[in-house]
Amino acid sequence: MRAAFALPCLALLCVSFFVPVPPASADSPLRLNEFMAGPARDWDGSGTFSSRDDEWVEVINTDPAALNLAGFFFTDGDSLPRYAFSGTLAPGERRLIFGKDAYDWEKATGHPAFGLSLANSGDAVMLWRIVAGETLLVDSYRYGSHEAGADRAVGRFPDGSGAWALFDSLDPYTGTTAPLGTGCAPTPGQPNLCTSTPTRRVTWGEVKSRYH
């Protein structure tokens, strides 16, 4: 079963395409690597905090060769285009997209302008690629509300291929819903370095009951 989506004209190109339902997965050297849905400070360095503009998503080229980014674009869980990539990435290079970048792209291409639009109650980050007239979901991650806490980032460890981890040093998470807090710091545009072991707090009563 396929659902059709028609996009507004993007610069000189007007595209209509089909998105598989459920989305098909395709191998891709461009991977989602880290993101922040609940910023609480000036992450983009503009000098002013904005809950819209300071959201960010980082992608990484995992290929040993340079990668042409034409055809790749990002959406949140509603699958509406939020940002289309351009240019090239060197092997191992990262590209950091802020909410302001997405907002400017949406305005320039005639899309509804909301920025990255990552919901704090839980949402999805989704990376797509148009290949030979087909639009394929090449990478995605669905996150919960605790992962969107203030200044908490979620990223792969190790970069590009590892499991998703919660980088919560700026707003420690002490709950029991996975992924657990690591105490590690968000690293936008930098390698995801995290050497802590996820832990959770337990009461003295729980300790006594285990070793009674």
pLDDT in tens, 98-128: 999 999 999 999 999 999 999 999 999 999 9
Q: How far apart are CA 188 and CA 180, in angstroms?
A: 20
Q: How far apart are CA 69 and CA 198, in angstroms?
A: 35
Closest CA to 105 of 93, 95, 114, 117: 114
Query: 2-144 has which fold?
Result: Immunoglobulin-like (2.60.40)
Mean pLDDT over each residue of the chain, to the nearest integer = 84
Higher pLDDT, 102 or 209: 102
pLDDT in tens, 174-201: 999 999 999 999 999 999 987 644 444 4
* DSSP-assigned letter for residue 181: B
Residue ranges of the domains in the chain?
2-144
* pLDDT at res. 169: 97
* pLDDT at res. 26: 58
Phi then psi dihedrals of residue 141, to 5 deg? -150, 130
Residue 18: strand, helix, or coil: strand
* pLDDT at res. 133: 86
Q: Which two tokens stand for residue 177?
A: 């819903």
List Cβ neighbours of 172 (8 Å cut-off, separation of 6 or more): 181, 183
Band (4; pLDDT cuts 50, 70, 90)? very low
pLDDT in tens, 143-173: 999 999 999 999 999 888 899 999 999 999 9
Q: What is the mean pLDDT of residues 61-75?
A: 96
Q: What is the mean pLDDT of residues 75-96?
A: 96
* DSSP-assigned letter for residue 48: S
Considering the entire predicted model, what is its pTM? 0.81
List Cβ neighbours of 66 (8 Å cut-off, separation of 6 or more): 88, 89, 90, 91
Q: Which two tokens stand for residue 194?
A: 């995290």
Residue 90 pLDDT greater than 60, yes or no: yes
* DSSP-assigned letter for residue 128: E
